Structures are given as C-alpha cells and as structure tokens.
Structure 1
C-alpha cells in the first residue's frame, strides 16, 4: 500500500475537506551503481575542498550564492529555516478555471488525494463530482517540506488529482528564447488542409497501456544479455527528415497509408473499437544475436504466429526495422548485416510468401 506524503485539508469558500496525498507516479528507470572498471568495487563521491583537496565534514559546509566571479554570499541552514514558510495543512483554493486554460508546460508532478477519513467520503466525492461536471480545475497554494507550491486540483475518474505547477517566472517564453520560428501557417494553404486530413485519418483514443518505454526495455535486455554472456544487435537509427520539396507528396502518401491500414501513428483498431499500436510501433527490446541466444526463441516464434492475421501488412510495406524484427522472429541467419532488400528477400524465401508478399 502506498504511504501518504502529506495530509491536511482542502478549503474553498467555507467548505473544508480533509485529505491525504499520495504520489501518483513511480520511476521505472534501471539504476546503476558506479564501479571501478575491471572490478566490483563501488565508487563513492566525497566532499572535497577543490583548492586544498582535503575532505570537508558536513557540518563545515555552508551554502554560497555567487554574486560575482569567485565572490560569494554565504547563507547558513538556520537562516534559511527562519524564512521558510511554516508548516501548513491547508490546500487553499483561490479560484476555479477552465480545465484547458492550464498549459501542460506548467505541470510538474502529479499526486492523488484520498478522503482523510471514512466520514469525509461524501464531501470528498461531492467536490470531485462538482469539478468533473463543471469541467473546472481548482488553483491553490500549499506548503510541503518547507516549500510553497502552486497546484492544480482536478477531478479524475474516481479520484481527486493534484498537480504541482511551475511558477510563471519559471516558464520560458518561446518567442524570446527560440530563433527561427516559422510563424503561423495560412489556414487556406493546400499543405495545411492535407496535414489536417492526415491527422483526422490517424485520430484515435489515448490508451496509455498501449505504449511502453522501448529504451528502458532495451536497457534491461542489455543487462540480461550481458549477464548471460550474450550480445545485442543495435536497432536502426532515426528516419531522415522530409525534404520540403516532397512535403505534399509525403503527406498524401501518409494519408493513403493510414486509410489502408498499412501503418501510421494511430495504430490499428480491435473489434472493441480500441486501437493497438501498429506492427511497426510495438516497442520491444532489441533482438539478441543468433550466435549466442537460445532463450526466448520459441516464445518469440509463438508470438509471431499468434499475431499473424489477414490484416497483417505486406512485407514490402514494412520498414527495415520492422523487417529486421520479423527476421528475428523467423530465425533468419545473418540478419544483422542485411540491407532492407536483403531482409525482404530472406523473409519471402523463408516464409514462402513469394509474390503474395504476406508476412508469416
């Protein structure tokens, strides 16, 4: 069970709702220790005086703010504690805004709120339902761990969610910070209309569970492979940028591809109406080299056969990366050194698809 990171009350007007706050997310990143090369010896960081090279105890360290080159104003921890905001147990809602008024760039971290006690479930649900039906978001401030936060209070499906926000002076103005912005596109341009058609043809509902962190999966696969004395084959690099001269043609071809179900960011729909990532968009770890990898081969082939259907795109419509993954599922030898055409020929020969061009 998750543990609350804060407890207090939400106040708006004369209404007070006791709540507990929990972290809404957790980190799934693979974390590494630092070791000295060739050994299992851990490497530790030490506090060292950069001028003398001698270690410095924690109690002898003060905070310093540089006001000029090499010139600092020092501040003691006790001085910061004296001016820190006092402990607060109140999320003070100052007003309610339209939900889409809060630009996503302001969001920092997300939390869930639960009723502070069983007897407060009714006012809790009343606030959640009122926010949901009005499509409003509460804007509030509160203090946690001696730091003041600006927050947005939002209604989830069955829970109140709280998001910490950046303060206004923390968000950069793109017009001031970026050079070479193209300006707004003419609303009647042919390219814009075609691009909107492409977006419409690829429109889908958002289901977060349909996506996964492919890089993190590759990191874990790398660790597992090295632990087993094996190697991984690197995946294909990023695609090249579209030439401006070919933009209209690329847009039109993308629309045809999306409409025919041969690819596109929208994925493919299942019988229930939900979409799953298209074949080429599935995030998997990089395949292990056939020279040293035996584990998982049968499972991979089983998944390949189970996933094949009449709706599978023809091989010639797949990218090199997609063909490489198919070759891995089929156990094609020497695939790591093949070009796209060689992968295509090998797959067609292996599956006996020939002129039909359908995947196994």
Structure 2
C-alpha cells in the first residue's frame, strides 16, 4: 500500500512514528473527451484571455480574489514560509471524545495508519487504549499545506485517521430552503412509517451494496470493445522536415531535366522520312 505521508502521533509525552496510507479509492470510470470528427483526445491548455497566448506554470502566480476582479498576489516564498511554520510532521492529539458525539456530516476522508520503524509497541498501546476506553482522539494535522482536524479510531485492528471539517466549513442547516418547521403528520402515518422502517431494518453488510451504474457502464464498454465498436484517432499530418523537402525538390529537378526518351525516336523517324521523300523527287 502506497505511503502518502510520514510523521508521528503525539499525545502527552508519547510519540508514535507512523505512515499514512489512503484508505479509500475512487472507482468512478473516467471518460475522455474526443474530437467528434477525428476521435483525437481533446487537450486543455492554459491560455491568457487578454494576451491570447498559451502560458506555462512559470508564468502563473497565485492570488486571492477578495472582491470581484480584485486580487492579492501571494508569492511562493511567503506561502512556503507559512507551510513550514505550521507543518511539524506530527498528528497532535488534542482531546479524547466519544465517537457518537461527532455528527457524520463532519467526516471527510479516511486514511490507514501503520507504525514506522520503532513504533510498533506505542502503536499497539494507543490502539488498545482507544478500544478499552471506547473513545476516539481529536487531532490536528497538516497535509499538502492544509491544516485539518482529524479523528483517530480503530478499524479492524488498524488505526484509522478520519479528516473532518472545521465547524465553519459546515454550512448552516437553517439556510436550507423550504424545510417544514413542524411535523404535520397523523399518528397513523407515523406508525405506518415506523413499521416500514422496522421491516427494512437489518445488519449493515457493506459487501451486498454495489454501484449498479458503474457495473452497467463497464458491461457496455466491454460489449462495445469485444464487438469491435472502437475508434482510433486519425493520424496527425506531421510537417515534413527540411531534409525531406530538399530531397523531394532535388528529385523533381532531376526528373524535369531528363531527356524525353519517348519523343526522340519519333523525331528521328520523321527526319528519315523527309530524306527519303527528297531523294525520290530528285530522281
């Protein structure tokens, strides 16, 4: 499993060297955009709309748009300085809480944690302590220049770090439009709904749920592939090199200066015929 981050977990005076691994993967089927005419993949280039020229990464600076059309430019060394100030390569556990006190809306991404060299015993200690206490650790971590809150918990005998949103990143539910303020339902309707919920209640078994759309799309792609319904990009017209053009020009020049072998015998034949005719007249 690929390691995306190395650092340590710290709580109190305990320090655990760990590695971080992505716990989930995106299974979405990525489709490419092709030019309908020649089936060539479409390129997306960075172009300045004012200068009307293509630009490279060296021509780009980062900025914050504080008002429409007004920016504050931030230099790379300034951003790097902030990054170094905040990135200590440590997952600092700030508090321990009951997991059910954290609403799922806060959760973002999951990462597996494995012990780095010399960290196995401390890793086992934290894992066992979390299991016995029934609590999770609330921590802070900086990943890819972004400071994030995180939850450390145990999943299938492995420490897992779940990044969570800061409170100001979660929008207010009060801003959602058209939400009824009161429950305008009858007791009979409520009892029927609860009965239906009871009938559909079961144990959570992740393996029985599948992405039906992705499966159907893969089947469609495979049926087209095996049925040879495939397309290939039209070969690009590559410009000829100067050498090729020069050789072609030289050959064409040679061809133009060759003697006309087809017309020469005709001229000789005509000349011979004229000589014979003149001799007969003289006779």
TM norm structure 2: 0.74
> Distance in 1 between the 2:12 and 2:189 partners?
50
How far does residue 184 in structure 1 lie from its aligned partner after superposition? 5.0
How far does residue 71 in structure 1 lie from its aligned partner after superposition? 2.5
> Distance in 2 between the 1:138 and 1:186 partners?
41
Is the contact between residue 85 and residue 148 of structure 1 (CA under 8 Å) also seen in structure 2?
Answer: no
Deviations 1:164-219 (A, max 9, x none): 111111101111x2122123538983322322222122111111111111111122
SS of the residue corresponding to residue 48 of structure 2 reads coil
How far does residue 126 in structure 1 lie from its aligned partner after superposition? 2.3
| Partner of residue 56, structure 1 | 55
Q: What is the Cα-based RMSD across aligned positions, in Å?
A: 2.2
Higher RCO structure (Cα 8 Å, ≥6 apart):
2
1:42–1:188 distance in 2 versus 1, CA, 3 Å: closer
> Distance in 1 between the 2:8 and 2:185 partners?
48
Which sections of structure 2, spanning at least 5 residues, go unmatched? 230-283
TM norm structure 1: 0.59
Structure 1: 4+ residue segments shifted above 4 A: none
SS of the residue corresponding to residue 194 of structure 1 reads helix
| Partner of residue 177, structure 2 | 179
| Partner of residue 120, structure 2 | 121
Structure with greater Cα Rg: 2
> Distance in 1 between the 2:185 and 2:153 partners?
34
> Distance in 1 between the 2:206 and 2:168 partners?
31
> Distance in 2 between the 1:67 and 1:230 partners?
53
1:195–1:92 distance in 2 versus 1, CA, 3 Å: same
Is the contact between residue 88 and residue 144 of structure 1 (CA under 8 Å) also seen in structure 2?
Answer: no
Which sections of structure 1, spanning at least 5 residues, go unmatched? 232-360
Deviations 1:122-143 (A, max 9, x none): 3222211221232211100012
| Partner of residue 195, structure 2 | 197
> Distance in 2 between the 1:53 and 1:3 partners?
41
> Distance in 2 between the 1:230 and 1:40 partners?
15
| Partner of residue 89, structure 1 | 89
Structure ranking higher in strand proportion? 2
Is the contact between residue 97 and residue 138 of structure 1 (CA under 8 Å) also seen in structure 2?
Answer: yes
How far does residue 33 in structure 1 lie from its aligned partner after superposition? 2.3
